[in-house]
Structure 1
Amino acid sequence: MKFTTIVTAAVSSAIAVSGTPIHKREIGGVLLCTGVNATGTCSYNVYELKTCHQLPAPFHQNTSTFAPDGEDFECFPRIGDCGSICTSPTGCTFGSVDFNYKNKFNLGAIKWNTLISSFDCSLKTTTSTE
């Protein structure tokens, strides 16, 4: 009797789990942390693409982890606040950061942990070889 009850419960649980729909993550998810390797104060949000996002305290010029999700998008950390005009001859970003960027969990390795003030993200563009 106990065996039948256990088997029935196991089958019922499997059916309930398999009936749960799997939701795809939204594009634009970024993890921000004040410490390296996702330590310190952290915040995860899905950010609108093609929009400048001002970093609030405690992340303004204090972000060591800047880790975008694995979807096909990239972000550009910026020295200036949203709306500021870049006057640097070398640009106001070090380039794109995506899921595969090697220093996403330690911006201090490139001395950007105390510089990042804002960022924007966009879908990656593909180049045609036709």
Structure 2
Amino acid sequence: MTDEAAGAHERIIAGLEDVLRWVRAGDVPGLATEGMRAGGHWNYRLFRHTDPDGEHFYQIHEAYYVDGKVDRWTNEGVTVMGDGARGVLVTLARMTAALAKPTLDYETGEEVGPPVDG
């Protein structure tokens, strides 16, 4: 491995360690707090979809809250994006935090399962 590749690898590992630290501490940058839930805001949630054959698959969507409850969500699952490597890591942390919340049904928005187990 070249020195450049090794350095990039170390930066990626350090960034992923940041993500885990943020999620474990409940301190994900930009993640809405309980107090903010009284108004409307967006965050990420895991949704269970059902295909035409009755099989389930899961995607992360952006969800909009009103008075602390999911009111609507994006039609399509979301991708990981950011304004640079750090922005991508923050998005990953926010998506990871969504796995600690109950899974929602894509059609109804109702809770259909517990948070993802470790």
Whichever of the two has the greater Rg, that structure is: 1
Q: Which has the higher helix share?
A: 2
* TM-score calculated relative to the size of structure 2: 0.31
